[in-house]
Amino acid sequence: MNLRQIIRNQKLQNYSLQGVIGEAEGDAAAVDADAGVTPAGSKKFWFTNDKGEYVDRVKDPGAGWRLVDSDEAEKAVEQDKPKKSKEEEPEKKTEKDSDEESLQRQMAKEPMPDEEADDDGDEEKEKASREYELPSKEERAKLFKIDERNTDQALNMTREEVEAQTAAKGKKDVGLGTPESRAGEAVTHKTMRMLKAGKSEEQIRSALMKVAKNPNTVLTPEWVDAGIRSTNAALRSLGGIENIDDIVWDTPQGREAIGVGDHGTSADMFVRTKDGRRMGISLKKDGSVFLANKGYGEETRKLIGKLEEMGVDTSAMDQASLATYEEGINQQFNNAAKTVMKNKKLQKDFMEVANGPLKDKIRGGEVEKAGKPVPNAFLQKFIDGKPSANDKKALSRICQYSDNPQLKQMYSDMRDEDTKLTQRLLGVFNENEEIGNGMKEYILENIHFESTLDLDQNPELDGFMTIYGSKPDGIELSQESLLKLFGSKTRKLYEIKEQWGQTDDPKEKEKIRKQIATEAEEKMYIDYADGAKGGTIKIKGDDGSDYPLFTIGSRSRGIGTSPILEIAQTTFMTNSLKNGSFDADDWNPAARKTFYRARLKELKESLEDQKGNKSAEKELTSEIDAIKNKLSTNESIKYFGDILNELKQNTLGHHWAKAEEDYPVHYFIREINEGSLN
């Protein structure tokens, strides 16, 4: 017997067991809520919420839960009976055990009030606090089989099956996302299962590549590589495949099989480790992550919904609504039509373009039917406010491809409505503190800040991780990485969480959670200059450095189409995780030089946009000079192409340039011929 156990026994002999019993009996609420003990001997209590749900826990589950009363306790027990399995029943007393002996045996497993538990005791106590219901062994086997079948179907899905699934109604038992991304998630699921079955990575890659190289399937070789890299990154953090018991997708069957309910996170799959921990895993193919990348109206409605869930007054968002864009662009169309109708030279140049590549290609032939040389009937539609979508596209493209500088300026004025919409949106974020803070909270939610740091105390999960399938072998956005990103003050607050974990007071836990989250939000700001095409959501480092996390902006993919809202994660995040530092000067030479060159290009574009804005020009010129100085050193560049391509493809400038290219004349004509502009 070791010294710790001897001291422990002495304390037990001197401790008043009857006092403990009497104290418990004196607390009526604790007696009513008694739910027995865990396998480790920890006392459990019944808790309920406003939805009438019941859980038995060692500790308070958190906000919204309370101890049951005597009537509720009876309901909780009745509800729990069908779920109980033999292995979950508390240890029974033998006939030789007295009440005092039974209690003493239980207490021997717990630390004394003035004694810290040893490491083994802490581990047992932690496991005991993770109480959750699992189906029977037979039922779990069925659920695992269904989950694996659904995952393998997603992995091997053909394009024809995608069409059929899209058309089908009812529950489909598949994860969220596109068919391609679901197939990519399924790669990680399948890889883990095959590793667990003893297959090598080479065997796994070979099998998956056979599926990806089938031209009829949605899975691609790039997703196979990313999925395998994600597996490796996740397993490094989880202790290897030998530490994994169960592997499931985010489907009803998979979640039920490992005891995960309504988890409320962005996890794409889950694993259950040997010690019973249920880990949620969010999978990203690479650093090209978009929080928004669809129609402006749809995305802002979703954003407003999220903000309202946080209790934010979103009325100021009306200042940057889609209606403000439509009003502005329609005014530009009206101005252009009136100007052309009043100027014979403009009419002539206008018709030269209309009779050129676009002749007979405008839907309905509006320009041609309008007569020569004055297209009055066509232009009158804009003055009357009754143009069709195709009329708008025709007018904008005629102005765009004309050599007449006045017509070109009309096109530029139409394009500027995108910038004005972005500026209005960024203005709302910066001028309305409540909405601005709500936007920061939205960003934190999307980088899974509280889930990763376990601040949400999610009763359905015991941990959460975000994995990127980036080269060379996958990376994790870990707790340590987040703490580095948000600085030492946040780290200090996070350390206070150790005290939080030892308290059962929900109010105290919530107070500390808010303290940490508020500190993180205060480190964030939305950087934009007047007239700029987009903004950047940044974190201010302890040394004064700016860490760019997301770009934000709006742009139509062709005038006459509704604009999109794009919130894109910069590759700064994944490059920082790869290089183990959020200071670019600490990165390897290739990544550092690539980052600075891409940044220099962005700054020069911004400087061009800011001509005439003296303060902005001064600030941008200063940063350009500083980066040029960093680039002046001779450093070898290895793997330059891959890194530059990744950075380039995730900038607003790249996407906007691509959008501009999406509708050159020959594409426009082809789309019309295919009837895609109905």
pLDDT for residue 609 is more than 70: no
pLDDT for 635: 45
Which of 12-16, 77-81, 258-262, 382-386 is predicted with the least confidence, judged by mean pLDDT?
Answer: 12-16
Cα-Cα-Cα-Cα dihedral sign, residues 354, 358, 364, 369: positive
pLDDT for 154: 93
pLDDT for 31: 54
pLDDT for residue 39 is more than 80: no
CB atoms inside a 10 Å sphere around CB 485: 21
pLDDT for 613: 64
pLDDT for 37: 61
pLDDT for residue 225 is more than 50: yes
Give the residue, 607 or 170, on which the prediction is more confident. 607
Residues 174, 126: Cα–Cα separation, whole Å: 33
Q: What is the mean pLDDT of residues 166-192?
A: 78
pLDDT for 63: 64
The residues pairing with 270 across neighbouring beta strands, listed in sequence order, are: 248, 280
CB atoms inside a 10 Å sphere around CB 58: 19
pLDDT band at 197 (very low <50, low <70, confident <90, very high): very high
Mean per-residue pLDDT over the chain, rounded: 77
pLDDT for 202: 95
pLDDT band at 639 (very low <50, low <70, confident <90, very high): very low
Give the residue, 520 or 644, on which the prediction is more confident. 520
Which of 73-77, 395-399, 490-494 is predicted with the least confidence, judged by mean pLDDT?
Answer: 490-494
Q: Is 506 helix (H, G, I), strand (E, B) or coil?
A: helix
- Tell me if 219 sits within 8 A of 210, measured CB to CB: no
pLDDT for 32: 66
Residues 398, 390: Cα–Cα separation, whole Å: 12
Which of 37-51, 385-399, 445-459, 514-528 is predicted with the least confidence, judged by mean pLDDT?
Answer: 37-51
pLDDT for 605: 76
pLDDT band at 637 (very low <50, low <70, confident <90, very high): very low
What percent of the chain has pLDDT above 70?
A: 72
Q: List pLDDT tens digits, range 421-451.
A: 999 999 999 999 999 999 999 999 999 999 9
What one-letter code names the amino acid at 546?
D
**How many CA atoms are closer than 13 Å to the CA of 240, on its beta-carbon side?**
2
Q: DSSP assignment of 87-115, as one string?
A: GGSPPPPPTT--HHHHHHHHHTTS--TTS
Give the residue, 450 or 678, on which the prediction is more confident. 450
Residues 142, 253: Cα–Cα separation, whole Å: 9
The residues, any chain, with a CB within 8 Å of residue 18's CB and separated by 6 or more, are 100
Residues 606, 627: Cα–Cα separation, whole Å: 15
Q: DSSP assignment of 18-33, as one string?
A: HHHHHHHHH-HHHHHT
pLDDT for residue 282 is more than 80: yes
pLDDT for residue 255 is more than 90: yes
pLDDT for 371: 44
Q: Tell me the C-alpha to C-alpha distance, in Å, between residue 437 and each of 306, 443, 518, 580, 627.
A: 12, 10, 9, 29, 31
pLDDT band at 90 (very low <50, low <70, confident <90, very high): very low
**If you count DSSP H runs as helices and E runs as strands, how many of each does the chain have, helices first?**
29, 14
Q: List pLDDT tens digits, range 123-151.
A: 444 444 455 778 999 999 999 999 999 99
pLDDT for 402: 87
pLDDT for residue 619 is more than 50: yes
Rounded to 10 degrees, what is the CA torsion of 595, 596, 602, 603?
Answer: 150
Give the residue, 487 or 562, on which the prediction is more confident. 562
Residues 471, 233: Cα–Cα separation, whole Å: 11
Give the residue, 165 or 411, on which the prediction is more confident. 411
pLDDT for residue 654 is more than 70: no
- Tell me if 553 sits within 8 A of 456, measured CB to CB: no
